Structure formats: structure tokens, C-alpha cells
Structure 1
């Protein structure tokens, strides 16, 4: 086996401390089953909101190839300077996976340049995730679709730029559909938004969900090439002489 991928999982880690229903589902934090699903091929670090610099210091980011981000209740508590620091690292090549309600995070909205708003219903209902790009590496090992018996509904319109690649589309029992697996590139960095993951349901224990996140981590690994140079360039014909 080759060298393990360096992954940092960032989790607010608030719900699990104050909400008994969430604590019952994720007693060790939402990050725990995500980390378990990646353990075989990733070197994992956990970072949380209440750590110094939210656990995302320059040293941590220097040692991160792919960042996974889950947030919900405290988006506005994330310091702007940390968001800017992470944003620069993504543009420089660090991969990023945005999960569920982190669509409203400062980081994702900065990356997308839109409101990232959507419709939702959190009563819990069946979600069917259809694979709409079966040749994509993030869909490897997933059938034509998979189902989650209980999830929060997210419905269109989802105010994001048109994805570079769309891997999954969700259908909900209430009839709504949603672009639930969206790929982007910003600068040198690859970004994947994956919809499932409401805190009161055991979504991150699901084998298919863990497989998608694992595939996405491998897809988002930084490209091995120098960053582009931006300068006052000489005319092309002078370079050909």
C-alpha cells in the first residue's frame, strides 16, 4: 500500500455536546464515523470550531492534502481570517469536501460566489441518490442508486454555479429533487459538495455514504505539478527566437 492521504476532518462539534438526540446518534462526534470510513487509506486529523484558530493553523494546513468540512449551527462564528487562509490553500491545490449543511458555510459561499441557498424540510424521509455520472471516480463501487431511509430534505432551487461535473441527483419521498453530488475546480484545488448528513440521522455510518466520501478524498488529492506563474510576460514571438 502506498503512502496514506493526509486528511483533516473539520467539524463544528457543537450539536453533539448540547443536543441529546444528536449525542445518541454520534456519541463520539459526527467526525468519528467519517474518520472510520477513511482509516484504511488516510492519515486523519480532527479539527473543531472551539480549538485555537478552529484547529486550522498554517501548520495543520501545511500537512493537509484534503479537507473535509461539516458545519451547521455556528457558521458565523468561523473567523474570516481562517476562512481566507483555507480558501488560499484550496486555490493552491488542497482538495476540499463540503458536507450537507456546510453549503451555508462562509468557506463554501466564498468558493461559489453565490448565496448557496436552498429549500429544506427536516422531518425525515426517504432519499434516493441516483448516479448520473456512472463513469466518474467518485461513483466507483456505487450501483445505479442507493437509498437512505431517513434524511433531511434539500430541494431545488439550489443557488450554486452550474457544477463542472454532477455525480448524484437526489429524489425525496415528498417529490423534490436536488443536485447532491457536485464537483468544482477553483484554482488548483478540487471541491466536492455532497448533500447527505443531517445530524439527527445515522447517515455517516452508511456504507455507501462512506464509500462516496472515500472516493471523493482520492479524487480530490492535489495534482502533482507546479503552480502557474503569473507575471508580466514577454511577447510569444520573442520566446521562439
Structure 2
């Protein structure tokens, strides 16, 4: 079965900005989905902010293997209930790929537990992306570096938790560097942050970027299925302890009673 991927796009700049609309007449989300669908092992569909429940219903997320997230100007418009719904699915094993300005999205900050802040500059700079973990599956088929001719600069310090792995580091023409490909795991879910993708530049038409995104979807996919036990916090009775024990002292909860959350 192909990997079921959802590309979530804010779909605001495409409607309001003529430059973005010219570069991405079908929307960035559809451009990214088309790049993913070039691989027979991936079946990508899209969802946008404007749809009911932002296109991320319980049923749709339950069937999703990987969610890709691009947002910028309307982070605050994303409903908190949907953010919690997505976080729940990531903990259960759905992969999450956060793109570019999605570093300030509610879902990324929710899962990172940090400000996710950075330096930035819009100047159409050359970005040289160095592959610092060449044996990582996300870097499969890449050389030691690749160049994106026009991009927005992101610079350190990037206030995220220490990553599980660093796959890419970027250098910009202005001199700054940035950890531009990072992985984490939250619960059973694999998370990848990929820096390139400013909306006024044609980054998502770049064939190397397409390769990275397809590799990332395959890496983020957890084939073991949904792990719902991640939410459970059972009160284990004394008589079910693995080794015989004698109950001693007072306790707050009655046998079988649920704990506080």
C-alpha cells in the first residue's frame, strides 16, 4: 500500500499576493503534493486552512501516515482543537514534516515545547545546503551539498530542543548558518523539520527539494500502525503486580479508579 500523506497548506499568500500566485498558481500545497505523487510509493492529497476543520477531520487523520505542514501568516487562525488532534496522532505514530515558516506553527511549538525562534532576512540569497549526515535515509541520492539560488535567510540560534539527528546545515550568502534539516521523535511519531520553502521563491519547483520531501515522507512513515496505548495511564492493582507484593500504607485512589490528568 502506498504511504498516505496529507499536505496541509495555509493557502493565504496564494490568494492575496500576486508574486506568490504567479509562482504557485495551483497553490504551494498542490505543488508539493504533485512532487510527492511522482513516487508510486506515496499517495498525497491536500488540506487547507479554509476547509471545515482545516481539512483535518478525525477520520482523515486516522487514515494518514504522514502530515506535511506549511504555514506562515495565519498560525493563530488554526483552531487549538485541531492542533491537539494532530498532536494526538503524532504521539500515536503519524509522521509530521514541518516546512519552512511552519517553525512558528502551533503544532510545531506544541510538540517541541519551546519558542522555535530564529533570525531571518528576505533578500533572495543563495542557500547552500550541506548534507552532514550522508547515510541518513532523508539524504538518500543527494551529493555532499545542493544549492537553492534564491531563498529567505534563516539564522541561528534556532530555539528548538536538541534534535535526535541533524541531516542538513545551510550556509547563506550573507554569512549566516542554520540547522536546516532536523529530526525528533514524539511518542511513536517521527518529526522532520526542513527549512527551505519561502513563498516568494520557486523552491518547491526544485527537483532536489522534491527528492528530499519524498525521502522524508518515507522516513517519517511508521509502518507499525497506530499506537493508541501511548495515551493510557492504567492503575495497576496490587494483585496484578509482576512480583508478589503486600500493600502498605494509605493511598489516594480506590482499586481500579482512574488517576488525575
Q: What residue number does 2:154 align with?
A: 154
Q: Distance in 2 between matches of 1:186 and 1:27?
A: 35
Match of 1:231 among 234, 242, 254: 234
Q: What residue number does 1:5 align with?
A: 3
Alpha-carbon distance, 1:37 to partner = 1.4
Alignment of 1:106-185 (within 5 A): 106-185=106-185
Q: Distance in 1 between matches of 2:102 and 2:55?
A: 17
Q: Distance in 1 between matches of 2:52 and 2:235?
A: 40
- What SS class does the counterpart of residue 199 from structure 1 fall into? coil
Q: Give the structure with higher Rg (CA).
A: 2
Q: What residue number does 2:23 align with?
A: 25
Q: What residue number does 1:35 align with?
A: 33
What is the number of equivalent residue pairs in this alignment?
A: 237
Q: Does 1:205 align with 2:205?
A: yes
Q: Distance in 2 between matches of 1:174 and 1:237?
A: 63
Alpha-carbon distance, 1:31 to partner = 1.3
Q: Distance in 2 between matches of 1:102 and 1:147?
A: 21
Q: Does 1:47 align with 2:26?
A: no
Q: Distance in 1 between matches of 2:135 and 2:103?
A: 25
Q: Distance in 1 between matches of 2:98 and 2:157?
A: 18
Structure 1, unpaired ranges of 5+: none
* Runs of 4 or more consecutive aligned structure 1 residues displaced over 2 Å after TM superposition: 225-238
Alpha-carbon distance, 1:33 to partner = 2.1
Alpha-carbon distance, 1:235 to partner = 4.1
Alpha-carbon distance, 1:236 to partner = 3.9
TM-score (norm 1): 0.95
Q: Distance in 2 between matches of 1:141 and 1:226?
A: 30
Structure 2, unpaired ranges of 5+: 245-261
Cα deviation code 1:145-179 (max 9, x no counterpart):
00000000000000000100000000001110001
TM-score (norm 2): 0.88
Q: What residue number does 2:255 align with?
A: none
Q: Distance in 2 between matches of 1:195 and 1:212?
A: 11
- What SS class does the counterpart of residue 243 from structure 2 fall into? helix
